[in-house]
């Protein structure tokens, strides 16, 4: 017989919620989070816990549960995301398969397994009367692209928080600092003419080749800068190039997409301004830089904070882990970086399994995750150092 957390993880995998990223039109039977948000809200309601679904746009939604503790002077957020990456190359990605002590399927470890762990822990405590502080459970929309769900919650409730924990596959180590990301579109112009007379035009692809080499030089310069004491240096990588419209037309435009992993204190707008200034100086002055909507800022919390120490203690007691570490990727935590509260990323599963065609989570880790989160939730509100803002 499946445990409750295993059943919930399997059920969540079974409701497709692929992030549509920049697509304007998409198949809403596969893309978007509204269906799985409704499912999860119904799961809580069936257990006597109030839950709300907040639609952010057509097919995109958050699910929110707000639990009251005996002392409402502190409120903590527990967040996991509903969306997954795409399923190219997977067979039956939405049919959870249990074998060899694992659950296979899209989202098993990123992030429906970790999300299931916090939901089961919260549901167990909701009616127990044991919570000492208020707790929000957010199942967010859009983490795999633009973090729209976390940003919507932060805008509405962020100022009331004493701290936030983000459920991601970390094998129960605690990420207290991670890089941000700026995603930029570099627009390289040209002049379009018939391909039989290229000398009368200006081929945007040739221009883009020069720009690519300049971006490589720029990236090398970033590697040589003074490293951040925790997160090292920034990484700038061109990842997509698009140009040309027809075989017999000299292209008048080429777009290069750049992924820039950033350090604390830098926004996507800052990145666009810096790269644009550099390319206009060393290549040509009519290059344009556009900020793509999927950027996020870095986070850096105090690993000695009361919240993170309590979290580390719970993870160590239950899972034998709880080391404080840093990461080079971004999470929903970026939406809360502007708040002066501790932020931490932790959960069952290995990040090495995320986004793979054979994605899975260990059932033992999933079940241990429930106890880690339950014990940590119960520890909050016992004279912690940080209180909610009023």
Token output for 112: 């429906």
Token output for 135: 């707790």
Residue 387 has pLDDT above 70, yes or no: no
What confidence category does residue 127 fall into, taking pLDDT thresholds of 50, 70 and 90? confident
Confidence at residue 382, expressed as pLDDT on a 0 to 100 scale = 66
103 with 97: CB under 8 angstroms?
A: yes
How far is 74 from 390, CA to CA, in rounded Å?
10
Token output for 233: 């240096």
Confidence at residue 388, expressed as pLDDT on a 0 to 100 scale = 37
Quick one: CA torsion of 58, 294, 17, 330, rounded to 10 degrees?
-140
Confidence at residue 386, expressed as pLDDT on a 0 to 100 scale = 40
What is the per-residue pLDDT across 64-84, written as a single tens digit (0 to 9) for each?
999 999 988 889 999 999 999
Residue 269 has pLDDT above 60, yes or no: yes
Strand order in the sheet with 102-104: 97-99, 102-104, 360-362
pTM across the whole model? 0.92
Alpha helices in 21-112 (DSSP H): 34-45
**Which residues in 45-76 are b (16+ Cβ under 10 Å) and which e?**
eebebebebbebeebbbbbbbebebeeeebbb
What is the per-residue pLDDT across 3-57, written as a single tens digit (0 to 9) for each?
999 999 999 999 999 999 989 899 989 999 999 999 999 999 999 999 999 999 9
Confidence at residue 1, expressed as pLDDT on a 0 to 100 scale = 76
Confidence at residue 390, expressed as pLDDT on a 0 to 100 scale = 31
Please name which of 26, 239, 16 lies closest in space to residue 112, comparing C-alpha atoms.
Answer: 16
Q: What is the mean pLDDT of residues 289-300?
A: 94
DSSP 277-308: HHHHHHT-TT-EEEE-TT-B--EE--TTSHHH
Confidence at residue 73, expressed as pLDDT on a 0 to 100 scale = 83
Please name which of 303, 268, 76 lies closest in space to residue 177, comparing C-alpha atoms.
Answer: 303
Confidence at residue 70, expressed as pLDDT on a 0 to 100 scale = 92
Q: Which percentage of the chain shows pLDDT scores above 70? A: 98
**Residue 67, H or E segment:** strand 60-67
Task: Compute how many other C-beta atoms are within 10 angstroms of the C-beta atom of residue 301.
Answer: 24
Alpha helices in the chain (DSSP H): 4-13, 34-45, 113-126, 148-157, 204-223, 268-282, 306-319, 363-379
DSSP 320: S
150 with 143: CB under 8 angstroms?
A: yes
Token output for 47: 């257990």
Tell me the CA distances in angstroms from 162 to 29, 74, 78, 134, 388, one per residue in order. Answer: 37, 6, 12, 10, 4
Q: What is the mean pLDDT of residues 139-144?
A: 97
107 with 348: CB under 8 angstroms?
A: no
How far is 247 from 33, CA to CA, in rounded Å?
39
How far is 348 from 110, CA to CA, in rounded Å?
10
Confidence at residue 293, expressed as pLDDT on a 0 to 100 scale = 87
Please name which of 253, 242, 245 lies closest in space to residue 191, comparing C-alpha atoms.
Answer: 253
Reported as half-sphere exposure (CB side, CA atoms, 13 A), residue 13 has a value of: 27
Confidence at residue 383, expressed as pLDDT on a 0 to 100 scale = 59
Residue 62 has pLDDT above 60, yes or no: yes
Phi, psi of 6 (to 5 degrees): -65, -45
Q: Which of 122-126, 165-169, 383-387 has the lowest mean pLDDT?
A: 383-387
What is the per-residue pLDDT across 328-373, written as a single tens digit (0 to 9) for each?
999 999 999 999 999 999 999 999 999 999 999 999 999 999 999 9
3-state helix, strand and coil shares in percent for the chain, rounded to the nearest 5: 35, 25, 40
Confidence at residue 317, expressed as pLDDT on a 0 to 100 scale = 97
In the chain, the N- to C-terminal Cα span, in Å, equals 46
How far is 374 from 222, CA to CA, in rounded Å?
42
């Amino acid at each position: 017989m499946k445990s409750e957390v295993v059943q919930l993880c399997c059920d969540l995998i079974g409701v497709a919620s692929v992030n549509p990223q920049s697509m304007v039109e998409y198949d809403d039977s596969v893309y978007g989070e509204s269906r799985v948000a409704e499912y999860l809200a119904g799961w809580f309601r069936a257990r006597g816990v109030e839950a709300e679904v907040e639609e952010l746009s057509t097919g995109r939604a958050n699910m929110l549960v707000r639990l009251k503790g005996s002392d409402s002077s502190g409120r903590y957020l527990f967040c996991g995301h509903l969306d997954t990456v795409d399923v190219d190359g997977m067979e039956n990605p939405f049919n959870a398969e249990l074998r060899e002590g694992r659950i296979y399927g899209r989202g098993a470890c990123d992030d429906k397994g970790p999300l299931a762990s916090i939901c089961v822990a919260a549901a167990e405590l909701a009616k127990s009367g044991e919570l000492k502080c208020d707790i929000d459970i957010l199942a967010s929309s859009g983490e795999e692209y633009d973090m729209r769900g976390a940003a919507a919650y932060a805008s509405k409730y962020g100022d009331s928080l004493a701290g936030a924990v983000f459920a991601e596959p970390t094998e129960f180590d605690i990420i207290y600092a991670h890089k941000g990301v700026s995603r930029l579109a570099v627009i390289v112009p040209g002049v379009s003419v018939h391909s039989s007379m290229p000398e009368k035009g200006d081929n945007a692809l040739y221009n883009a080749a020069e720009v690519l080499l300049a971006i490589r030089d720029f990236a090398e310069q970033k590697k040589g800068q003074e490293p951040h004491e925790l997160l090292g240096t920034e990484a700038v990588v061109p990842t997509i190039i698009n140009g040309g419209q027809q075989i017999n037309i000299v292209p008048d435009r080429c777009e290069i997409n750049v992924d820039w992993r950033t350090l604390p204190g830098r926004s996507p707008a800052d990145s666009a301004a810096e790269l644009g200034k550099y390319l206009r100086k060393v290549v040509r002055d009519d290059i344009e830089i556009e900020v793509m909507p999927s950027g996020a800022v870095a986070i850096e919390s105090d690993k000695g904070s009361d919240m993170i120490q309590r979290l580390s203690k719970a993870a160590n007691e239950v899972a034998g882990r709880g080391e404080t570490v840093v990461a080079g990727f971004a999470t929903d935590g970026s939406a809360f970086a502007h708040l002066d509260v501790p932020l931490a990323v932790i959960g069952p599963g290995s990040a090495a399994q995320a986004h793979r065609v054979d994605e899975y989570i260990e059932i033992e880790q999933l079940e241990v995750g429930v106890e880690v989160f339950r014990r940590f939730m119960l520890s909050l509100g016992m004279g912690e150092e940080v209180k909610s803002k009023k």
